[in-house]
Chains A and B, each alone.
Chain A
Amino acid sequence: MSRSRRRKLRIFRAAVFLVLGAFFLVPIGAMFEFSTRGVGITAPRTLVSWTSIGTYPDLVAGIIASLQLAAITSVAMLLLLLPTMFWVRLRLPALSRVIEFICLLPLTIPAIVLVVGLAPVYRWMSINISSSILTLGFAYLILVLPYAYRALDTGLAAIDVKTLSEAARSLGAGWGTVIWRIMIPNMSSALLNACILSVALVLGEYTFANLLAYENLQVAIAFLGLANAGVSIAVAVASLLFAFILLLVLSFVGRPRSRVARAEEIPAPTVGAWGQRT
């Protein structure tokens, strides 16, 4: 590639980076600016909106509930989808289209329709089982299915599920061991992606919680916005930052260890004739 072409490409990349950066950061910057305004046009900047976040019990409860729901939904999603997809790929490949269709269905149904359909179920659950906000995890599990399915499907497609599981079975591993010791470590990126998508969806969910009369983080922010816009915006920015940091941490956790050196970069140990690379 010529030098001028390389320079043009660098400039293009920088321009794309700047435009996209501005697209995401300007609104967040504006929100931060708004949340630090004092009362009155000439009032100095203040962090009162930020420091008073903890003084709103409903908001704190909403934050805790959303975090719990994110964890519950992620775990339930993995417990439901992983063994199902694994088994379908291995033993019932003819069903894969059906499973894919079912998992992608929530994408095609508007949230409001889903809520209307789920409302009687939740009414029954609140009377007979529990009215805890954590029961929202059931609805959220449906909500995250399409995204989690896609992420996990990509991960499963990247490994030879059949051969690896048969190899492990022939060595004495039971099905649980095959999933836990062989499959999961080899699709950690896909699992992480599925979890990240689930966490992001649950933390940002408003419609289900509001219409089913539960107060999660987004509903609490909306209510707070009616009483104190500054705190409401501060919480919105804080939740964005929190989600960003969480995704960053998860990405580092899921990064493969430094074992990814390429074969040809590693000198062959000195051994006998059969030690040569073949």
Chain B
Amino acid sequence: MTATPTAVTTRNANHGGVEVRLEDLRRRYAGVTALDGLSLTMAPGELVALLGPSGCGKTTALRLVAGLEEADSGRIVVAGQDVTGQPTNKRDVGMVFQAYSLFPHMTAWQNVAFGLQMRKVNARHRRQRAGDMLELVGLSGFADRFAHQLSGGQQQRVALARALAIQPKVLLLDEPLSALDAKVRARLRDEIRRVQLEVGITTLFVTHDQEEALAIADRVGVMHSGRIEQLGPPTTIYSRPATPFVAEFVGLTNRLPGVVRGGRVDVRGASLPLVQPEAADGPAVALVRPEAVSIASEGEATPGPLVGTVIATAFLGATSRVTVDLGDITVLAQLPTADAAAIPAGTRVRLTLRPDPVLIARDEPKADRA
């Protein structure tokens, strides 16, 4: 799938980001296809997140851009220049790795200055630039510390400063938050976004964490089997998934058996419009988001196809996720916590499906949900 850039936030316009194009990249490892004709165009200053499960090829794509691996075919064009055959150290890319990658024998300052030294920047400018970068990531007071004297989050921030210090054309982030705990991850995620916007650098961010991708990126590319399944702004990816895979990978999805008839799908008595109305009639599985399911307390309700019993409630903060047993399947519904508190486990309830356009899958229905 070839994807072209949408309008990128105008706040990047004044900075020096460059366009990055990946054209029909293919890569195989011992008979296994890691990338199967991946194409992607990133606008100057844009942050694109590649999101996908393990083995979908997202890290391979990033490593090809970095020059750490070679593509079997295809081109990588950075700022109009074909860099496909260039070695890593000539590519002008900054990279933050998943594993902690600070040089252990150097201080934070020396780590940040290393790339400048490789570029033969004189000592005075090196000192100045490294200091500026550490200040940018809020670690100017930690310049003399070695990696083992910094926490995981601090190490990744120094790594970010080090990658940015050389003023690369592209910033590559290879799951830089995955080794951190949840709270630090959320804070550092916002910090990375702030710094990226401030510097205005074109950034490719690879992650398997959907929340991370949706929160940080201008556009998200959901990858599956070496290709981009859907590329678009986070809201589109979440609310209008293009394929069943995207619908099921991004956010929780109920898989409800139904029947397609005349461009709509009937699910247990509820008729829902289809995202693709041209779908052929016949049995199908409707993919319905938990937030599209609402609950009314039924008391001693008369039995019906959408009447069931609450069997569990998961507290998520402002909202809660309620699991309802309909007899043959269970359905997830996401409600405000106050509403969920009124229907404890064992309560008989009636479900209502919001008539949003839904995607269908034609595979065998799973037991209950994805």
Contacts and interface: CB of A to CB of B under 8 A. Distances in A.
Contact of A159 (B104, B142, B180, B191): B104
Interface stretch (A5-13, A36-44, A149-157, A163-171): A163-171
B148 interface: yes
Given A168-B103, A177-B118, A275 B153 contact: no
A110 interface: no
B105 A163 contact: no
A164 B99 CA distance: 9
Given A271-B140, A274-B138, A274-B191, A172 B119 contact: yes
Contact of B137 (A166, A169, A274, A277): A274
B150 A263 contact: yes
B142 A278 contact: no
Contact of B89 (A164, A174, A269, A270): A174
A272 interface: yes
A260 B105 CA distance: 10
B77 to A, nearest CB: 19
Contacts of B105: 185-186
Interface in A164-190: 164, 166-174, 177, 181-182, 185-186
B66 interface: yes
B97 A171 contact: no
A268 B154 CA distance: 12
B166 A160 contact: no
A234 to B, nearest CB: 43
Interface string B71-105: 00000000000000001111101110101110111
A266 interface: yes
Contact of B104 (A166, A186, A275): A186
Contacts, number: 109
Contact of B187 (A172, A266, A275, A278): A278
B99 A266 contact: no
A259 interface: yes
Contact of B148 (A181, A263, A271, A273): A263
A4 B149 CA distance: 38
Interface residues of B, number: 47
Contact of B149 (A163, A263, A270): A263
Interface string A171-211: 11110010001100110000000000000000000000000
A172 B68 contact: no
Nearest to A170: B95
A157 B97 CA distance: 19
A167, A168, A185 — most chain B CB neighbours (10 Å): A167
Contact of B101 (A160, A174, A177, A260): A160
Contacts of B153: 277-278
B163 interface: yes
B121 to A, nearest CB: 11
B139 A275 contact: yes
A273 B68 CA distance: 35
B238 interface: no
A74 to B, nearest CB: 22
B93 to A, nearest CB: 6
B269 interface: no
A213 interface: no
Given A185-B105, A278-B154, 9 more contacts: A167-B95, A171-B89, A171-B115, A172-B118, A266-B149, A268-B141, A270-B141, A271-B142, A272-B138
12 contacts: A163-B101, A167-B95, A168-B114, A170-B89, A171-B166, A186-B105, A263-B149, A263-B151, A274-B187, A277-B153, A277-B154, A278-B153
